[in-house]
Structure 1
Amino acid sequence: MNKRLALSWSGGKDGCMALHTLVQQGYTIACLVTTVPAEMGRTFGHGDRTEMIQLQAEALNIPVHFIECTFKSYTDRFVESLSKLKEEYQLTGIAFGDLYMDEHRDWGESVAKRAGVDAIYPLWMKQDESEVALKKFVESGYEAVVIRVREELVDEAWLGRKVDSSFYHDIIKMNICPMGEAGEYHTYVFNGPLFKKKIKLGEPSIVEYESSKKVEFDSFILTNS
């Protein structure tokens, strides 16, 4: 197999498991792509600082490309950037970590088609399989922390929790998708089997937004262990 992919990257567990699955399947992940609001310095997906995404890319030894855009220009800028990356990295496709939301897959397949590459969904599943998917992540050896929650669905007490077996047993009791596919919560992966270095996170503090709350860390650095 000589298929070179870009991977849509938000920094969370879904993208990480997509990366792991694709590597196991023999794909080459040539680069990561992350969308950021123009001049904001944070990601569209989770509101992470771009520096935190850059650290993940360095830890994984995979280059990351930030696509600067607005909500209005989001799709066109994504296609434009993907088309350029296709030539730069000889890409055959782009992969996404979406699980089961058809509207997300429709969008991804549309932008891939416009850019002239394949759309790959290595984690695609039925909605009722999400609990099994979370258990698989917990047992994968990757380490992630909850960095954002939707207040009306998930209490702020979940912020800063590691996505471990305790998290798994607690989250499956709630009336939400265990994987947070509808944005109930977001995560940040800081270590795992494909990481060449670990990301050490500093002291957390909580920031409140209009409909969500988020953890901000006062520092984040790469370490050897």
Structure 2
Amino acid sequence: MAKKIALSWSGGKDSCMALKKLVDANHQVVSLITTVPKELERTFAHGEKTEMIQRQSNSLSIPLHFIRCSFDDYTESFIQDLIQLKNQHHLDSVAFGDIYLEGHREWGENVAAAAGLEALFPLWCQQQDSLSLLSSFIQSGHKAAVIRIREDSLDDSWLGKELDDDFFNNIQKQTVCPLGENGEYHTFVYDGPLFQSPVSFTRGQVLSEGASKRLEIHPLV
């Protein structure tokens, strides 16, 4: 039976893969959910400008809901907004793009239960299957670029790299999860079969942020 689903959306490859799985299963994704610090117009997940996430939403033709919160009330705000979305869209479920980290799954299941929703994890697999999942994303025809790296895992040369066959081959030479599930790298998806048109952007400066570095991306008019 088709379900009405809200999808936790970071703007990266995992969110995109989760969306594709849900669409292929004939479910109706009625809302994308992105958390944003109250004082900033950038996402909690990867630090993108909210405008870039909105442009993804527009191209995907799926409404976007920003959960504006702080670190202190993150979970409480997530639950409250889920309840609002549940009532607004008659949701059955909330989906997450987590892959194999049990702590992340537990959090997702807990917030879903608190909102009276089913928690879905379309990508859930064993850690050893992560390379196969990366291959599936590359072969899907979607396009993504690396916009953030953890400095203790990858060097600056990875910023801006496209997720393609070369990336697939080279990431296996690194001592990291091929999918970056432990935060080794993050991506921005900007085109592919799910998109009506590319989300065009230019690459800007590299910014240091604690233990990570982020490639600033700017929307093209």
**What is the TM-score normalised by the length of structure 1?**
0.96
CA distance in 2, matches of 1:165, 1:74: 37
CA contact (8 A) 1:203 1:219 kept: no
**What is residue 129 of structure 2 aligned with on the other side?**
129
Cα shift readout 1:165-220 (whole Å, capped 9, x = no counterpart): 00010001111100000100000000000101111111332111111111112433
Cα shift readout 1:110-165 (whole Å, capped 9, x = no counterpart): 00000001000000000010011101111110000000000111101000000100
**What is residue 11 of structure 1 aligned with on the other side?**
11
CA distance in 2, matches of 1:197, 1:128: 34
CA distance in 1, matches of 2:24, 2:220: 29
CA distance in 2, matches of 1:202, 1:147: 12
Name the amino acid aligned to 1:137. Answer: F
Q: In the TM superposition, what are the counterparts of 1:6-155 in structure 2 within 5 Å?
A: 6-155=6-155
CA distance in 2, matches of 1:204, 1:73: 32
Name the amino acid aligned to 1:20. Answer: K
Specify the SS of the correspondent of 2:44.
coil
**What is residue 156 of structure 2 aligned with on the other side?**
156
Specify the SS of the correspondent of 1:149.
strand
Specify the SS of the correspondent of 1:202.
strand
**What is the TM-score normalised by the length of structure 2?**
0.98
For residue 40 of structure 1, report the CA deviation from its aligned partner. Answer: 0.6
For residue 39 of structure 1, report the CA deviation from its aligned partner. Answer: 1.8
Cα shift readout 1:12-56 (whole Å, capped 9, x = no counterpart): 000000000100011100000000111211111001110000000
CA distance in 2, matches of 1:24, 1:218: 31
Name the amino acid aligned to 1:76. Answer: E
* CA RMSD in angstroms, aligned pairs only: 0.8
CA distance in 1, matches of 2:179, 2:40: 27
CA distance in 2, matches of 1:185, 1:19: 20
CA distance in 2, matches of 1:41, 1:204: 17
Correspondence 1:200 to 2:208: no
Name the amino acid aligned to 2:126. Answer: K
Give ranges in structure 2 of 5+ residues lacking alignment: none
CA contact (8 A) 2:52 2:219 kept: no
CA contact (8 A) 1:160 1:204 kept: no
CA contact (8 A) 1:3 1:93 kept: yes
Where in structure 1 do 4 or more consecutive aligned residues deviate above 3 Å? 218-221
CA distance in 2, matches of 1:55, 1:88: 22
CA distance in 2, matches of 1:218, 1:77: 28
Number of residue pairs the alignment of both structures matches: 221
Assess, with a 3 A threshold, how the Cα gap between structure 1 residues 218 and 8 changes in structure 2: closer, same or farther: closer
CA distance in 2, matches of 1:184, 1:218: 22
CA distance in 2, matches of 1:22, 1:218: 29
CA contact (8 A) 2:203 2:215 kept: no
CA contact (8 A) 1:34 1:43 kept: yes
